[in-house]
Amino acid sequence: MEDKTKIRLTAAEMSGLWTQYLSDTLSLCVGRYFLEKVEDEEVRPIIEFTLDVANGNLTIMQELFEKESFPVPNGFTEQDVNPKAPKLFSDTFVLMFYRNLSILAMAASGAALGLVTRPDLVAFFKRISNAAIKLQDLTRDLMLKQGTYVRPPYISMPDKVDFVKREHFLAGFFGHKRPITSVEVTHLFLNIQTNTIGKALITGYAQIAQDKEVKDYMVRGIQIAQQHVDLFSEILKSEDLPAPMIWDSAVTDSTTPVFSDKLMMFNVSSMVAAGIGNYGMAMAASPRRDIALKYAALVPEISMYAETGAKIMIKHGWMEKPPQADDRNEIIQG
């Protein structure tokens, strides 16, 4: 019988493994610091779980890379974290951070599972998906227990099945606006929450950044996140719906370096990329024109912010190059 693990890796499989390796090395650095500083004994097992998963993933990937003669990415190492630095984030924020991480991991592993074909890689990304679901369960259950879980807004239950009868359903600029749909509420809530978490994380990063250009980049990120939170919150409030709480208090006043500027820039770049994806989905799921166009207007802003971050990383030699297609012109020219 043919050994299907000897089939060449596709571009999607290379991409999935490369991205996962960088993410897991970052997760190890962050997790080691969180574990060193955690005070809540109910949070500690969750951090330990993420460390166990990341270590297991890295072992599997290193064996795969060796088998395929694939250069092992550098990722992040002990040089990128100072576990002895003072506490920068509250344990409550750590919970929220890992809950958001689980959502990102579920989405990424789901996308990978739709593209990988080799049985060993299917099994690997199923492992990641299952771990992400378990992390979501662990963080959700503990936050519910501790009273820190913020639920999406409630709306009235529909009393019958109905269909859209007029184009007025799509309107949003002139005249009477229809109430927002449950789908639109969901995306507004999610994007407020992710921007709020991002703002708290970047605030901590801004306090400990060593390079002036990196610090200024983080400060700009704080401003963008707050503007977007305000915009989305205003839409919910105009519909008499509550907006999620702000997490600014989750950051201490420590300025002692914890993570390398390289790690922080990569982490923020990953979050911005996820944010662009979230806005794209929200735009597609928002039939009311005014809401969809608000998302459309924000995408160029955060895309430019992402480009600025990429330029900073390239300038400092921090951006690791992902696998690329062959440059045929270069090969031909020799």
Number of domains in the chain: 2
Q: Are residues 123 and 173 in the same domain?
A: no
- Whether residue 176 is found in the same domain as residue 276: yes
In a domain, 29, yes or no: yes
Task: Tell me, yes or no, whether 132 and 209 share the same domain.
Answer: no
CATH of residue 120's domain is 1.20.1260.10
Same domain, 122 and 226: no
Residue 194 lies in a domain: yes
pTM, to two decimals: 0.90
282 within some domain: yes
At a CB cut-off of 8 Å and minimum separation 6, what does 327 contact? none
Give yes or no: residues 122 and 202 share one domain: no
Evaluate whether residue 99 is within a structural domain. Answer: yes
**Does residue 93 sit in the same domain as residue 192?**
no
Q: How far apart are CA 56 and CA 75, in angstroms?
A: 16
Please give the C-alpha separations between residue 273 and each of 16, 104, 164, 226, 291, in angstroms, as whole numbers.
Answer: 15, 11, 34, 17, 21
Domain that holds residue 194: 169-316
Looking at the fold, whether 212 and 80 belong to one and the same domain comes out as no
- Is 183 found in the same domain as 113? no
Residues of the chain with pLDDT under 70: 1-5, 164-176, 246-249, 327, 334
Residues 39 and 177 in one domain: no
Is residue 177 domain-shared with residue 122, that is, in the same domain?
no
Looking at the domain assignment, is residue 76 inside a domain? yes
| pLDDT confidence of residue 141 | 97
Asked whether 22 and 75 are in contact (CB, 8 A), the reply is yes
Q: Residue 289 domain-assigned?
A: yes
Residue 111 CB-half CA count within 13 A? 13
Rounded to an integer, what distance in angstroms lies between the CA atom of residue 180 and that of residue 169? 10
In a domain, 48, yes or no: yes
How far apart CA 197 and CA 184 sit, in angstroms, is 20
Distance CA 153, CA 193 (A): 12
Which pLDDT does position 106 carry in this prediction?
Answer: 95
Domain membership of residue 158 (yes or no) is: no
